[in-house]
Structure 1
Amino acid sequence: MAHNDKILAASQKHPLVPLERGQLYKYGTAGFRMRADLLEGVAFRVGLLAALRSRKLNSQAIGVMITASHNPAVDNGVKIVDPMGEMLEQDWERLATALVNCPTHEDLVEVYNKLVAELKIDLTIPAKVIYGRDTRPSGHTLVTALADALVAADTEYVDYKILTTPQLHYLVRATNTEGTPSSYGKVSEVGYYEKIASAFVRAMKGRKIDGTLTVDCANGVGGPKLHEFLKYIPKDKVAFDVKVVNDDVLRPEVLNLDCGADFVKTKQRAPPIPKPQPGARTCSFDGDADRLIYYWVDPQTGFFMLDGDRISSLAASFIGDLIESAGLKDDMRIGVVQTAYANGASTNYISQHLKLKVICTPTGVKHLHHVAQGFDIGVYFEANGHGTVLFSPDALNAFRDTKPQSPAQKDALDTLAALGDLINQTVGDALSDMLMVEVILAHKNWTLRDWAMTYTDLPNRLVRVEVADKDLFETTDAERRLSKPSGAQEEIDEAVKKYKDARSFARASGTENACRVYAEAATRSEANELADRVVRVIERYGSSQ
């Protein structure tokens, strides 16, 4: 059967569900993400695109992850991972959107062939796609549709079954660097555990971890994977007492329900189950284990959260000190990348106290990742806890090849080299970021309270505002100012002027018909008041069409 006929026949088994009111499926920051029952045809078409991407990039392996991260259990998503474990190249997001929205099976084959011609893709060269999924029951149907597309497009594939999102990113990079000097690790889930566990032991250097760490796994894939990972840490090298909670993957309906990193960040409180223990060091993953938030509950002062901004400043401070001790300060450019949602106090602490360069980008990890790659060491975290630290090849070589002149310098170089292996360079990874935090706290001999004392957050508030048409709202200056509708930004500026240490901005949501308003000021009541004023501005402009 010819290539086109195979695609046509396979597509008919996985029809596309038309969206209401003629809306289009859009490839966004998280790929295609929505109610799972809309995604079967989408997953099939994404499989075709992933095969084309692999052929366009000379048969390198492309990844596909089936997950909806922190969304409720009824949702799912499909996203493509590029060869080095990074997000899909932006130009191809448009191609994904075009291919997925073909109204008929015949149109699909036609657009597929048009892409082949436009991109000058040789269909006779091999293609390879690897994929995984989180614990959602709908994942099975979507993976079946994806595999059918890969078979129809004559593409070799590997199904890694259930994985965290960062594990799939790891596997994509490991597959494409296998047998080269820049090999990222063994091409297996076990290879991921071995690499990180070995780096953790090297980075700890026999230091003690204080007390028990409680990890809330959002009843998602992070639970079983964390249990599995812990088996790889040799007890005689590092005594690491971890209590895993919210790790029920057998009842799909409890995924992300009143637990997980997104719940903790947005509700600003600990998950109600299990009952928070006063003073316990606790962290939360999200449903696909790529976000991390730390916190504790104090009997006197209540809940205290250490979010992505805090993790970012902790990592930047520690790595900056190590670079100095390693004698590499003059050779290494260290930068911290944030979004407009980063607390103003964290930005001031990093730029004024740590004396490090801070760059602000639009929301979305792909933007932060890209800018972080411009530094020898680029630290990036969104406030929601999604982020990582990128080390350039030159930096990794320097940690390995610099000849130490003293035991202290050797110690710093060894620790930096271990961190380079411990921190997942491909994408934010809750498991490896958690280990990084534990290493830093152990080296500094800090409690969460010591960490919290580095600076005081400015009170802030984030509000979701429903609008008639979110596309009326356009932004500039890394999403910190509205360019449209005309006049709205001037009104926000007027409101901000009335409060001390204040800033506020609004932007359209990437996933729903709403705007998000962020406000920050010197006191809690002023931050709330400012948020309310800006919400009223957005409501007024959002309804006047």
Structure 2
Amino acid sequence: MSSVRKPKRPVYAFAREMHPKTEKADIQYGTAGFRTKANKLGYVMYRMGLLAVLRARYKNATIGVMITASHNPEADNGVKLVDPHGEMLEQSWEAWATKFANVGDDQLESIIAEIIKEYNIPMTERVHICIGKDTRPSSPSLSKSVMDGVLALAGKPIDFGIVSTPQLHYFVACKNTKHAYGIPTEEGYYHKLVGAFLKLNADQRLNSSAGNSNYRNRLLYDGANGVGAKKIKQFQERLGETLKIELYNDEGIGTGKLNYLCGADFVKSNQKFPNGVPLQHNVRCCSVDGDADRIVYYFIDEDDKFHLLDGDRIATLIAAYLKELLEETGIDLNLGLIQTAYANGASTEYITQKLKVPVACVSTGVKHLHHKALEYEIGVYFEANGHGTVVFQKTAKDKLKRATGDSSLTDAQRNAAERLLNLIDVINETVGDAISDMLLVETILRAKGWDVQDWEAAYTDLPNRLMKVTIANRNVITTTNAETICVTPPGLQDEINALISKFKKGRSFVRPSGTEDIVRVYAEAATREEADTLAVEVSRKVYEMAGGIGNPPEVPA
């Protein structure tokens, strides 16, 4: 066991001098970590550096710290910790993160002593902390604050610079599996994903019985003026003619601000084209968000009607293809699909009745979906916003590997098992990854000979609308039953039920944001007009009964 020198100066003294607590209001570690205005986060970042070292020593593993506010406006920023397998921070430690962020400077030493005692944390190991940041102007200084926190407890920061959130999750998983998952470098990330993609698609060009009749290898890509725009260039160079990606909203050429009128969240919420992407009939388009962990597809038809293929559509496409391949292998593996209550009702019906794939419903938040997905040998999970991935248990991978060399199986069965193994390498299992998901979708569409119209034709979405209501305190809204029932404020759910009853196939749910004082309202109904009306009426009830501020909700444009 190595010896680590104690810091020359007490942690609280350094905090007071260099990273003093500047905010009186408490901040809460939510589903996406901490997220608020960037100028309020300096001291929080320092303290998360401290906590990351303690977590790493407790787990005897490398821990990650990602500085990002994802789809939020450019003036915001945030931070979240990444656990050893590349997953979200364990929920029990979210409370510690909140404690660390909110105690006074003079209480830091005592809170550190408290957590060390609670978990019997050894303080002698030299642990590594992987740090990544997005493209926001505030990210470099906030990254320095994290590093100061890591160094204050004698940890070793590894600065990966500007990377996507999924890349950082990948790096952490690689380091803690001793490179079994992959090489923990950007080049290792590109090599793994692109290599598997090219192999799969070369095989499909040679062997596809579909003939790729409708598939076109052209894709318009909205980079949200963020890290997804920077990193897709690496893929453009490596993919060549196999997939021709045309990049728009590239912050490198100054086409606009991060996430402003562009990106996955904008497209999903407004159901229209982002600024900068040309309107070309029946051409496949996709948008990622600011840290490249969400993706949605879309197109306009010859009548200029907008069509969205969101996380629900991506999940059903993937689940259907995985089921086809599994049936070809003849291997019995437990496949399941995880959704939230905010998934489109038509997608759930299609999955359960047409695909005959089990569906589980959990609360919003990737950590809930990821945890549930691990109960299956192959678990597909996506939120409607386009955040999701596929996880494979070791038992599934082992069965597929054995099948590739099993002489009792047919050539077709062995080839299907081989394709599934290659497909696993296209997927970033640690977390939702927009670019990995893009490669997966493109692989499936090429294999099936589909373009977006064929994909959309699998089932018809119920018209839906997602709205946001700004309120004074998001904590006045509480929910139960996977966020389908509003518990407080009293009477709000009764009002929602009364509104739903007025609309054919009506459904509506509300939930508080995990990071902002806003309430998200989802509504769907038999027609577009009814879905919009229901969304607005429910939003107005939230505004009235939950302390709405600013302008009352209006009918979407």
TM bin, normalised by shorter chain, reads over 0.9
Residue 265 (structure 1) shift:
0.7
TM-score by length of 2: 0.92
Note the alpha carbon deviations across 1:478-523, whole angstroms, 9 max, x for none.
Answer: 0000122233222322322232222112222222323222221112
Equivalence for 1:15: 19
Whole-Å separation in 2 of the counterparts to 1:409 and 1:423: 22
Equivalence for 1:362: 363
| 1:506 counterpart = 2:510 | yes
1:20-419 matches, cutoff 5 A: 22-58=24-60, 60-104=61-105, 106-178=106-178, 183-204=180-201, 205-207=203-205, 210-233=216-239, 235=240, 239-249=242-252, 251=254, 254-328=257-331, 331-402=332-403, 403=406, 405-419=409-423
Between 1:215-224 and 1:270-279, the stretch displaced more is: 270-279
Instruction: Say if 2:35 and 2:516, in contact at 8 Å, map to a contact too.
Output: no
Which of 450, 454, 457 is the matching residue for 2:454? 450
Residue 17 (structure 1) shift:
4.4
Whole-Å separation in 2 of the counterparts to 1:507 and 1:137: 31
Equivalence for 1:485: 489
Give 3-state SS (helix, strand or coil) of 1:215's partner. Answer: strand
Shift in CA distance, 513/193, structure 1 to aligned 2, threshold 3 Å: same
Whole-Å separation in 1 of the counterparts to 2:473 and 2:133: 33
Residue 469 (structure 1) shift:
3.5
TM-score by length of 1: 0.94
Whole-Å separation in 1 of the counterparts to 2:22 and 2:158: 30
Shift in CA distance, 17/3, structure 1 to aligned 2, threshold 3 Å: closer
Whole-Å separation in 2 of the counterparts to 1:14 and 1:81: 25
Give 3-state SS (helix, strand or coil) of 1:5's partner. Answer: coil
Note the alpha carbon deviations across 1:188-233, whole angstroms, 9 max, x for none.
Answer: 1111111111111222214266241111111111122111133334
Note the alpha carbon deviations across 1:41-92, whole angstroms, 9 max, x for none.
Answer: 111100000000000012x100001111111111111110000000000010
Give 3-state SS (helix, strand or coil) of 1:249's partner. Answer: helix
Instruction: Say if 2:342 and 2:509, in contact at 8 Å, map to a contact too.
Output: no
2:191 partner amino acid: E
Shift in CA distance, 16/358, structure 1 to aligned 2, threshold 3 Å: farther
Between 1:473-482 and 1:202-211, the stretch displaced more is: 202-211
Give 3-state SS (helix, strand or coil) of 2:238's partner. Answer: coil
Instruction: Say if 2:226 and 2:259, in contact at 8 Å, map to a contact too.
Output: yes
Instruction: Say if 2:21 and 2:104, in contact at 8 Å, map to a contact too.
Output: no
Give 3-state SS (helix, strand or coil) of 1:242's partner. Answer: strand
Residue 12 (structure 1) shift:
3.1
Shift in CA distance, 274/483, structure 1 to aligned 2, threshold 3 Å: closer
2:27 partner amino acid: Y
Whole-Å separation in 1 of the counterparts to 2:384 and 2:194: 27
Query: Structure 1: which 5+ residue stretches go unaligned?
Result: none
Instruction: Say if 1:127 and 1:156, in contact at 8 Å, map to a contact too.
Output: yes
Q: CA RMSD in A?
A: 1.9
Shift in CA distance, 456/145, structure 1 to aligned 2, threshold 3 Å: same
Instruction: Say if 1:17 and 1:38, in contact at 8 Å, map to a contact too.
Output: no
Whole-Å separation in 2 of the counterparts to 1:9 and 1:534: 50
Shift in CA distance, 275/28, structure 1 to aligned 2, threshold 3 Å: same
Give 3-state SS (helix, strand or coil) of 2:356's partner. Answer: coil
Note the alpha carbon deviations across 1:120-149, whole angstroms, 9 max, x for none.
Answer: 111112221111111112111011111111
Instruction: Say if 1:73 and 1:253, in contact at 8 Å, map to a contact too.
Output: no
Give 3-state SS (helix, strand or coil) of 2:250's partner. Answer: coil
Shift in CA distance, 543/177, structure 1 to aligned 2, threshold 3 Å: closer
Equivalence for 1:495: 499
Instruction: Say if 1:10 and 1:148, in contact at 8 Å, map to a contact too.
Output: no
Q: How many residues align?
A: 532
Give 3-state SS (helix, strand or coil) of 1:277's partner. Answer: coil
Give 3-state SS (helix, strand or coil) of 2:161's partner. Answer: strand
1:512 partner amino acid: E
Instruction: Say if 2:22 and 2:43, in contact at 8 Å, map to a contact too.
Output: no
Whole-Å separation in 1 of the counterparts to 2:8 and 2:333: 52
Instruction: Say if 1:221 and 1:249, in contact at 8 Å, map to a contact too.
Output: no
Give 3-state SS (helix, strand or coil) of 1:232's partner. Answer: helix
Between 1:198-207 and 1:350-359, the stretch displaced more is: 198-207
Instruction: Say if 1:136 and 1:252, in contact at 8 Å, map to a contact too.
Output: no
Between 1:352-361 and 1:482-491, the stretch displaced more is: 482-491
Shift in CA distance, 539/150, structure 1 to aligned 2, threshold 3 Å: closer
Whole-Å separation in 2 of the counterparts to 1:173 and 1:523: 45
Identity level (%): 46
Residue 377 (structure 1) shift:
0.8
| 1:462 counterpart = 2:462 | no
Note the alpha carbon deviations across 1:172-196, whole angstroms, 9 max, x for none.
Answer: 00001115xxx10112111111111
